[in-house]
């Protein structure tokens, strides 16, 4: 018998970090330089043949960056089982906001056993870094562990770098929970 799993996954982070672009790249294999801010929330669905007996329906909730200043996140986060927390590697302020997003998340949604839902940290727009992140790598390793992320990736929606890997890491963590 085949079983289906519906997984609600949140994509959060500050304005313009690339949440919508990451989802468009992952689901539709497209990228646009044009920026149009998301209003409220958008949705996308990706079907994964997880293993020979499991089909995963991945429901991606693309939350507008501007929602950090609103009260709607409690409604959007309900029943989510995982999250991608995104910052823009070229803008430090978006990295500082990561902990605000993580705290917002953990205060409003949790697993049945009370533990935080799995979250993966994405440093997006890595194609724009002239210098490598190598020197900062150990630091982000600690940051990830100290703040309860299950992993972190440098990503580029533009060049299609690590998008699949980051989302696979999250889905694996979610599937390992039960």
**Does 173 contact Mg ion by CB under 5 A?**
no
Residue 44, exposed/middle/buried by CB under 10 A (0-12, 13-18, 19+)? middle
What residue ranges bind ligand GTP (CB under 6 A)? 15-21, 32-33, 35, 37-38, 64-65, 124-125, 127-128, 156-158
Q: Least CB distance from residue 177 to ligand GTP, whole Å?
A: 26
Nearer to Mg ion, 56 or 85 (CB): 85
Shortest reach from residue 38's CB to Mg ion, in Å = 3
Q: Minimal distance in Å, beta carbon 53 to ligand GTP?
A: 35
Instruction: Give the residue nearest to ligand GTP (CB).
Output: 65
Q: Report the alpha-carbon distance of residue 65 to residue 54 in Å, rounded.
A: 33
The entry of ligand GTP, Mg ion, none that residue 173 binds, CB within 5 to 8 Å by partner kind: none
d(CA 28, CA 25): 6
Report if residue 161 touches Mg ion, rule: CB under 5 A: no
- Write the interaction track for Mg ion spanning residues 7-36; mark x where CB under 5 A is met and - where it is not: ------------xx----------------
CB 42, min distance to ligand GTP, A: 8
CA separation, residue 2 to residues 46, 57, 73, 156, 173 (Å): 17, 13, 34, 34, 21
Query: Nearer Cβ to ligand GTP, position 56 or 119?
Result: 119
Q: Which of 13, 38, 124, 152 binds Mg ion (CB under 5 A)?
A: 38
77: tokens are 């986060």
Residues that bind Mg ion (CB under 5 A): 19-20, 38
């Amino acid at each position: 018998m085949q079983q289906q799993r519906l997984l609600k996954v949140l994509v959060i982070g500050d304005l313009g970090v690339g949440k919508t672009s990451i989802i468009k790249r992952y689901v539709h294999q497209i990228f646009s330089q044009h920026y149009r801010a998301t209003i409220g929330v958008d949705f996308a669905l990706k079907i994964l043949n997880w293993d020979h007996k499991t089909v995963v329906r991945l429901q991606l909730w693309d939350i507008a960056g501007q929602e950090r200043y609103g009260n709607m996140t409690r409604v959007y986060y309900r029943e989510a089982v995982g999250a991608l927390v995104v910052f823009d590697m070229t803008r430090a302020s978006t990295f500082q906001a990561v902990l605000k997003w993580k705290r917002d998340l953990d205060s409003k949604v949790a697993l049945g056993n009370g533990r935080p839902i799995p979250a993966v940290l994405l440093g997006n727009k890595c194609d724009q870094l002239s210098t490598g992140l190598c020197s900062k790598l150990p630091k982000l390793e600690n940051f990830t562990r100290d703040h309860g992320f299950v992993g972190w990736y440098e990503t580029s929606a533009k060049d299609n770098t690590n998008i699949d890997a980051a989302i696979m890491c999250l889905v694996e963590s979610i599937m390992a929970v039960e």
